Amino acid sequence: MSSPVTSNDREKVVSKLPGWLRQNLKIRAAQHGVEIQAAVEQGIREWCSLASAVATIDTAGSDSFSTFLPFGQWEEFRQTAADRRVSLTQGLAQSIQLWLDANPAPNVERPEITRRIIVCNQKGGVGKTAITAGLGEALAESPEALHAVRVAKALAKALRESETQAGQAPPTEDPLDIENLPGPGLKVLLVDFDPQCHLTNQLGAAPVPMNGDSLTSHMAGDPKGDLRDLIVSIDDETFGGRLHLLPACNDAFLLDVRLSAVRAREAALERALAPIESDYDVIIVDCPPSLGLSMDAAAYYGRRRDGEKPGQSGALIVVQAEDSSADAYELLTTQVDDLRGDLQVHIDYLGIVVNLYDSRRGYIATSSLQGWVDIKDPRVVGLIGDLKEQKEAVRVKRPLLAYAPKSQQAIGMRALAREVL
C-alpha cells in the first residue's frame, strides 16, 4: 500500500520482505554509500523494464518493510506485478535481488605499501595495549556486516562538551551521532613488542617461551625458525581470520642490550618483519614504555617509505587527561625528532588518542583534555572513555569488539580506525 506521507517528492510505501533480503540490502547500500530508498527505486525500475519474469525468490517469513519511492512508481510496479501474476512481496523481492546482482559488494581496498602503526608513549598505564587491540579489531571487522561507528562530528562534539563537563557524568552517545557502517575488512597483524606481554595475555594467547624463537631473536640476528610459525589467529567470526597476533616473549627485556651489538640497529624491527609484511594490510606495534634502542627501532619502522603518502604510517600517541602523560609526551616527541634529524627520515604523527577519559574527575581531566586539543599538530583523533567493558573483556581474555560490540568504547574504537585510515 502507499501513504501520502512524503519525503520531498516521494510517497511512503509499505509491503513485506524476508529478513535476510532486507539485511543484505542494508549492508550493500551502506557498502556503496547509497540510500536504501534509492536502491529500491532503481531495482523496481529495472524489474519493471524486464521483458520476462526472473527466478522466484523464497519469501517465507516476510514481514513489514517500508520505504519512500517517487510518486507513481509504486502504482506502475503494482500493475506490472499483476500482469506477471506475482504478488507484490515476490515482485519487490525480485526487484531488490536484481539491484543486489547489479551492484556486487565492492572489493576491499588494499594499500600498496603495508601500513605500519606504532602505538607509543613513554609512560606506562595509559592504555596503549587496549588501543592497539581495539584499533586492530576495528580495522579487521567484516565488510559483510554493519557495525556501530561514532561519526567524526560526534568526536568534535564530545571534545567541545568536555570543557563544561567537570563534575558531571561522561556524555552519553546521541543516536544521531552513530552510523551503521561495513567493517574495513583489512588483514591486520598486532605485534606485542612489550616484554610484559600485556597484549598477548589480554587476547588469550600464550607468551613465546624463553630460550626459543622470538621476535627478539630475529631482531638480534639470531633467528631459530620462521617468524610466521609464532603468529596466532584471533578467532572470532567478526574478524573472519583477518586478525593475527605476534605474541611477546619475556626475552624482550634484554632487547636493548642485544641490539647494542647489532649493526644498523634502528632497522632491526624492519628486517625482522619484512618477510611477513606482504601478508598484511596493516601492522600495529604495541610499544613498551621505553626510551631505549627498541623504541628507536619501532619509530624507524613507522617511518614514511619511498612512494608512501604522508599519514599512511607513523606514530599513534596514547595519553591520558592528566599531567604525567604530558611529561611523557615531551620525552617521546624529543626522541622521535632526534631520530628524524640523525637519520634524515620522515616519521609522521598519526594523532593523539586520549584514553580512559572521565570528566567526573573534574578540572584536572577537563583542562588536561583541552590542553591536548590545543596542540593541533598532532591533533586528537580519538577519545575513549574509562568504562567497564574494556576491563571485562581483559578479564575474560576476549577482544573488546567481540565481547561488547555495541559498547561506547567499541564505537569509539571504530571511529578511531576511520580517523587513522
Nearest CA to 158 out of 377, 391, 373, 361 is that of 373
Cell of 266: 634502528
Backbone φ, ψ for residue 225 (5° rounding): 175, -165
Nearest CA to 319 out of 295, 353, 290 is that of 353
**Tally of CB atoms within 10 A around 161:** 14
Of the two residues 407 and 177, the one the predictor is more confident about is: 407
192-209 pLDDT, tens per residue? 999 899 999 999 999 999
- What are the sequence ranges of the domains in the chain? 2-102, 115-420
9-27 pLDDT, tens per residue? 899 999 999 999 999 999 9
pLDDT score recorded for residue 103: 96
Q: What is the mean pLDDT of residues 163-191?
A: 73
Identify residue 82 by its one-letter amino acid code.
A
Identify residue 248 by its one-letter amino acid code.
A
Query: Given the C-alpha cell 581474555, which residue does it identify?
Result: 397
120-155 pLDDT, tens per residue? 988 888 899 999 999 999 999 999 999 999 876 656
353 bridge partner residues: 318, 382
pLDDT score recorded for residue 267: 93
Task: Give me the percent of the chain exceeding a pLDDT of 70.
Answer: 92
pLDDT score recorded for residue 169: 47
Residue 1 has pLDDT above 70, yes or no: no
Cβ(303)–Cβ(337) below 8 Å? no
Of the two residues 162 and 178, the one the predictor is more confident about is: 178
pLDDT score recorded for residue 247: 96
Q: What is the mean pLDDT of residues 209-225?
A: 91
Class in CATH terms, 115-420: alpha beta
CA angle 407, 199, 382 (to 5 degrees): 45
pLDDT score recorded for residue 405: 96
How does DSSP assign 47-71, residue by residue?
HHH-SS--PPP--TT-EEEEEEEET
d(CA 332, CA 289): 10
What is the longest distance spanned by two Cα atoms in the chain? 83
Quote the pTM value: 0.88
Residue 3 has pLDDT above 70, yes or no: no
DSSP H or E segment with residue 245: strand 243-246
SS3 of residue 272 by DSSP: helix
